[in-house]
Amino acid sequence: MSPSLIAPVVEEENKKYQRGVKHLCDKGLTKVPTKYIWPEQDRPIFTKPDKLIKPKQNLKLPIIDFAELLGPNRPQVLRTITEACETYGFFQVVNHGMEGDVSRNMIEVCKRFFELPYEERSKYMTSDMSAPVRYGTSFNQSKDNVFCWRDFLKLFAHPLPDYLPYWPSSPSDFRSLAATYAKETKELFEMMVKAILESLEIDGNEDEAAKELEEGSQLVVVNCYPPCPEPELTLGMPPHSDYGFLTLLLQDDVEGLQILYRDEWVTVDPIPGSFVVNVGDHLEIFSNGRYKSVLHRVLVNSIKPRISVASLHSFPLTSVVKPSPHLIDERNPPQYMETDFATFLQYVSSREPKWKNFLESRKIHRIR
């Protein structure tokens, strides 16, 4: 059947599952519905009944001590950042200065949001990807052929006063706790940008892009992964790279995040109170391919619910993203086309986001 004939059939079927995973689990469930079963080659490898086979290699992500970054050891820390961004596309940040209460309160209030009755949560359900608040399930719930085991709440967060009035009013302390979290994450992002630019030997005080990033976009994505009766058959999130410049990820104490490292999926051990920071597609473009936006995915488990909060930061939605002129010369021609948010939206809303296909579509292929 041609794609134009299949699409309406999928959209009709998807309506049955649009209320999301939490709703499904609340009704009681002992098996994963077919809609959530991934093709065998995409599934995580478990032994029976649901014990995850750990990869041979146990990955320790580079750890950046933020306090050190602000002290005399800055040059050394910057070198670690460079290595981490070139090799893994990921690192973990400790001693970042955000009070433990701010991140704990955020996780806790998000848990309470997902425990609200479905009718309350679904007030924010919309297919409009530029809505200030969007509640939903899977990745693209009207288009996905296979669903992932994840419900989400997405909040546009910068400039905050423009968006805050649209954020959920229940639980009653949601807005204030989430606003504090968003503001402090933004500050942390700005310090991270300075370090990243310096690590690329770009002077942040002179650079146009650095100024744009200060007034850039921020999207806070809260992910909720309820326990799954058959975690070996599904994924919390399929392999993807993040769209923005940098993502600052906060997780509770339940593991689930895996990154692709040397063609193997490796689990990231959560360090309580730390942030996992990863290079997004825009930083890969901006650094002209020097820093890599690496594929990652999320596994679920049969016992513990998991919450993560990803804060995606980038240029303003109206900006055109391109390789930095400071990194381009005769020997280093641009590797990526200029790209904007509208092109991205058009791309993702017309197909399933898979692997790094958006970024791939922006690459310039030269014949040597």
Ligand X SMILES: O=C(O)CCC(=O)C(=O)O
Q: Which residues bind Fe ion (CB under 5 A)?
A: 242
81 touches 91 (CB < 8 A) = yes
Kindly state the number of chain residues that form the binding site for ligand X, as judged by CB under 6 A: 12
CB of 327 to Fe ion, least distance (A): 25
CA angle 218, 314, 325 (to 5 degrees): 160
Which of 188/197 has CB closer to ligand X? Answer: 188
Residues 211-250: x where in contact with ligand X by CB under 6 A, - otherwise, as a string: ----------x-x-------------x----x------x-
Bridge partners for 153 per DSSP: 135, 222
- The first and second tokens of residue 307, run together, are 């919450």
Which of 175/297 has CB closer to ligand X? Answer: 297
Q: Which does 223 bind (CB under 5 to 8 A by kind): Fe ion, ligand X, none?
A: ligand X
Which of 70/271 has CB closer to ligand X? Answer: 271
- 137 near ligand X (CB under 6 A): no
CB of 258 to ligand X, least distance (A): 9
Spell out the SS3 assignment of 76-127.
HHHHHHHHHHHHCCEEEEECCCCCHHHHHHHHHHHHHHHCCCHHHHHHHECC
- 287 near ligand X (CB under 6 A): no
- 196 near ligand X (CB under 6 A): no
The H or E element that residue 359 is part of is helix 357-361
Which of 14/223 has CB closer to ligand X? Answer: 223
The H or E element that residue 14 is part of is helix 3-14
CA angle 294, 160, 311 (to 5 degrees): 15
Alpha-carbon distance 276 to 273, whole Å?
Answer: 10
Q: Which does 78 bind (CB under 5 to 8 A by kind): ligand X, Fe ion, none?
A: none
Q: Which does 109 bind (CB under 5 to 8 A by kind): ligand X, Fe ion, none?
A: none
Among 138, 251, 274, 293, binds ligand X (CB under 6 A): 251
CB of 196 to ligand X, least distance (A): 19
3-state DSSP call for residue 223? strand
Largest pairwise CA distance in the chain:
64
Binding site for ligand X (CB under 6 A): 221, 223, 237, 242, 249, 251, 256-257, 296, 298, 308, 310
